[in-house]
Structures are given as structure tokens and as C-alpha cells.
């Protein structure tokens, strides 16, 4: 008893044969005769020997040479070697042979395509007929056990479809070629197309663009109606044709897709300049531009100058000084928020950033930042040190001398602000 998949294959062949042979004007006798002829021809004993002889007219290949040039299959030295690349799959992020699950393509005499389809029928165990024949499995031996031909004869005939030319590999001058430099000179490389990946791309794009679900959602959008789910569009596609009016001369896959394949846009991406970079060592020294604070430091210097020699009430001057320092801190926090916006993308584990600054800047530490104050003392200490250092640098010789006394006073002031306002420096 035939496997259901093989039974379906032969039923389809019979239907196609009868459709081509029978005419509406045929008599019942002619109809019965042709039906019987069809039944006799598509028995295993009759069809398998014929198919095995024709198998050599088709070459299975993952990279058919005819995609480079339709006439590249044969030259004066014989047929171009069929390339069957069995590359392992790796999670390396590359779109390449082996990383996409596709069947091998085939090229050759279009009249033998039925043999290719037969060998690629998947049986109940999900293995193809060809894989069973290559492995000499019991299923293959039972299938090819017929009175009209021996098992070995049929096996060798079918395997001719996947056997490369004997001896040295043969290429063609019609295939695009490049000289690739190596230590001892050059290798001449023939650049070939993985047609399986090419048409897998087309099928995925067509599903993405023209599936019934996408059409329904596109209709809702056109009618300005609500849809709980959206859909995706692919722009700037180019469609390329292979084989002209005879796509079957290129390959089986090409014929099945009408000779058309899609190409994605390959223009360089528009990369937006990244103004904010997550610090790798110290936020204060790598993320803050001290010269953007020059105006703030000048105002603070002016307030402190008035406090030493003016007649304005002390309380007013202290309030002005505090506001000037708070302005500097708020500007620092503007940069902090900008850095936090890129933290999830740019922060790398194991960087030299101090632990307190990791809590201060990273989203994954937000709970600790909100519910703990242990890190805050280090941030205040660094903030005061940075303010005093760049106040002196931005004012130069005009800057007032600030020492340990001012450092301690300013640190106590910020600590008190943090105690009075939970959002301070958070």
C-alpha cells in the first residue's frame, strides 16, 4: 500500500494526464481506453523505470548557475557542476545558506520535473523519497521493489539527480566571477545565487503584503475603522525577472514563482547622530560639558561677590545663592534624564561606572534608586566636587578660592535639600 503522500502525487499525475489527453468529443470506448492506459502507465512497475531514466536530465542544486545566465548550464567541457551546499545552522545573525530552512532547487529538462517532484514528496515520517533512497531505508526498498527493474538500477537512476560531475568542478564563463586574493595567489570564485532563500523571501513578503488578514486590516484603515491590531508595510521593493517568457529554463523554483523575485532596498541607512552616550567610567567627567554651565557659574560668582561687599540683606543673598546652585543641579539632572533614555540600549555590564552612578542612571536600578538612600551620598559628594572644580575652571583667575569649609557647607546644603525633597537628584 502506497504512502498517502505518494498516492496523492500519482492521483494528481493521472488527473493532469487525462485532462491533457481526453477531448470532449471522445467516445466512451476512447475514454475507457485512455483511462486504462493512464492506469497502466502510472503503476510503479511502469512509471518508476521511466522516471529513473529521466532523473539524470534534472540536477538538484542549492545555487543554480542559470540565475547568473540562462545559458550557463553547459559549455564545451560539459555540464557546470551542480552545487549542493549543506551548511550547518548557526545563531550568528547572518542571512545565509544553512540559516534558512529551504528545499534545494533543481534545473534541467522541464519534461523531467515530475521526477523532481516525486523525489521531494514527504512521506508519513516527514522524510522525502530521495532521503529514503539515499539511506537505503526499508521504505525505499519496498517502494522500488518492482518486477520490471532492479532496486540498484532504480536507485542509481534517481541518485543521478543529486550526483555532481566526476572529476574537477566545472564552471562557466557566463557566471559572474571574481579573483579573490589568497596567500599563494588568487582563487577564481563563481558567484552563485541561493534560489531557495531568494524565493523564500518572496513568499514571506507576499504573505506580509497580500494575506487575507492583511487585506482585511488594510480595508479597515481605508474605511477609517478601528482595528485592535495593525499590519506592516514593506516599501521600496524591486521585482526582478529571471528567464523571460520561459522561467522553467532557469529552475524549478523560478518556474513555480513565474520567474519573479523581490529585492529589498539596499540603500545605506540614515543613521541619526547620537549626541548622548552612556558613560563608561564617570558621569561627571564624561557626560557633562562644563562650558555649557559657564553662564550658571558666572551668576553664582556674581551672587557670592555681592554677598562679600554689598548692602543687600543676607537672607536675600542666601536665597539667590541657593537658587543659583539649584539651577546648576537642575541642568545636571537634564543630562541625567537624557542619559537614562539611552541606558537600556547602551549600558554594558562590567563597565567601570561606579555602583552609585549605575543606580542613579540605569532603568533596571530604578526600584533601588527610589527606595534607598545609600547611593545618594556618593552622588552628592561627586556633584559638589564637580561644581567646585568647574566653577574655578570656568572663572579662571576671577574665581574665589573655595576650600574644605565651602565643600562641607555645600555638601550639607545638598544633603538637606535631598532630605526635604524626595525627588531631589532622583
For residue 308, the model assigns a pLDDT of 59
Count Cβ neighbours within 10 Å for each residue of 33-71 and write b for 16 or more, e otherwise. ebeeebeeeeebeebbbebbbbbbbbbbbbbbbbbbebe
Distance of CA 291 to the CA centre of its chain: 43
For residue 195, the model assigns a pLDDT of 92
Closest CA to 236 of 195, 267, 204, 210: 267
Which residues are within 8 A (CB) of 112 and not within 5 positions of it... i.e. 6 or more apart? 54, 55, 57, 58
SS3 call for 424: coil
> 168 with 79: CB under 8 angstroms?
no
Closest CA to 208 of 240, 229, 233, 237: 233
For residue 298, the model assigns a pLDDT of 86
* Prediction pTM value: 0.55
For residue 199, the model assigns a pLDDT of 94
DSSP string, 3-37: -HHHHHHHHHHHHHHHHHH--TT--HHHHHHHHHH
Residue 93 burial by Cβ neighbours in a 10 Å radius (0-12, 13-18, 19+): exposed
Question: Cα dist. 143→2, 110, 146, 147 in Å?
Answer: 8, 25, 8, 12
Q: What is the CA radius of gyration of the chain?
A: 38
Rounded mean pLDDT for each run of 10 residues along the chain, 426 residues in total = 87 89 82 87 90 87 89 78 87 90 84 86 89 90 90 90 69 87 90 92 92 91 88 90 89 91 85 74 85 85 71 78 87 88 80 86 84 87 88 83 86 86 81
Amino acid at each position: 500500500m502506497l504512502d498517502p503522500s505518494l498516492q496523492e502525487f500519482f492521483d494528481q499525475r493521472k488527473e493532469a494526464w487525462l485532462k491533457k489527453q481526453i477531448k470532449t468529443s471522445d467516445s466512451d470506448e476512447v475514454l475507457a481506453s485512455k483511462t486504462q492506459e493512464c492506469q497502466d502507465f502510472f503503476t510503479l512497475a511502469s512509471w518508476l523505470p521511466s522516471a529513473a531514466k529521466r532523473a539524470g536530465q534534472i540536477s538538484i542544486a542549492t545555487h543554480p548557475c542559470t540565475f547568473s545566465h540562462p545559458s550557463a548550464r553547459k559549455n564545451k567541457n560539459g555540464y557546470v557542476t551542480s552545487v549542493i551546499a549543506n551548511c550547518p545552522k548557526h545563531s550568528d545573525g547572518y542571512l545565509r545558506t544553512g540559516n534558512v530552512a529551504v528545499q534545494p532547487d533543481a534545473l534541467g529538462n522541464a519534461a523531467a520535473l515530475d521526477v523532481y517532484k516525486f523525489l521531494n514528496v514527504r512521506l508519513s515520517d516527514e522524510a522525502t523519497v530521495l532521503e529514503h533512497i539515499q539511506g537505503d531505508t526499508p521504505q525505499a526498498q519496498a517502494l522500488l521493489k518492482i518486477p520490471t527493474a532492479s532496486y540498484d538500477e532504480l536507485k542509481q537512476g534517481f541518485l543521478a539527480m543529486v550526483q555532481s560531475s566526476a572529476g574537477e568542478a566545472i564552471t562557466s564563463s557566463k557566471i559572474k566571477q571574481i579573483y579573490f586574493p589568497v596567500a599563494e595567489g588568487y582563487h577564481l570564485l563563481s558567484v552563485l545565487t541561493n534560489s531557495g532563500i531568494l524565493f523564500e523571501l518572496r513568499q514571506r513578503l507576499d504573505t506580509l503584503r497580500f494575506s487575507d488578514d492583511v487585506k482585511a486590516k488594510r480595508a479597515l484603515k481605508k474605511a477609517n475603522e478601528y482595528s485592535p491590531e495593525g499590519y506592516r508595510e514593506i516599501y521600496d521593493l524591486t521585482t526582478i525577472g529571471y528567464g523571460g517568457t520561459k522561467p522553467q529554463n532557469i529552475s524549478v523554483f523560478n518556474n513555480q514563482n513565474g520567474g519573479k523575485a523581490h529585492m529589498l532596498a539596499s540603500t545605506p541607512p540614515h543613521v541619526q547622530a547620537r549626541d548622548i552616550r552612556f558613560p563608561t567610567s564617570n558621569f561627571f567627567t564624561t557626560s557633562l560639558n562644563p562650558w555649557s554651565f559657564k553662564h550658571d557659574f558666572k551668576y553664582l560668582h556674581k551672587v557670592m561677590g555681592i554677598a562679600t561687599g554689598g548692602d543687600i540683606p543676607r537672607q536675600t543673598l542666601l536665597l539667590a545663592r541657593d537658587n543659583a546652585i539649584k539651577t546648576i543641579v537642575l541642568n545636571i539632572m537634564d543630562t541625567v534624564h537624557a542619559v537614562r533614555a539611552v541606558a537600556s540600549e547602551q549600558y554594558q555590564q562590567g563597565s567601570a561606572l561606579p555602583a552609585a552612578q549605575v543606580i542613579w542612571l540605569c532603568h533596571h536600578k530604578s526600584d533601588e534608586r527610589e527606595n534607598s538612600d545609600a547611593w545618594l551620598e556618593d552622588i552628592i559628594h561627586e556633584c559638589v566636587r564637580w561644581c567646585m572644580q568647574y566653577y574655578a575652571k570656568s572663572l579662571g583667575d576671577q574665581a574665589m578660592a573655595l576650600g574644605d569649609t565651602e565643600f562641607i557647607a555645600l555638601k550639607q546644603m545638598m544633603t538637606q535639600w535631598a532630605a526635604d525633597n524626595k525627588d531631589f537628584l532622583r
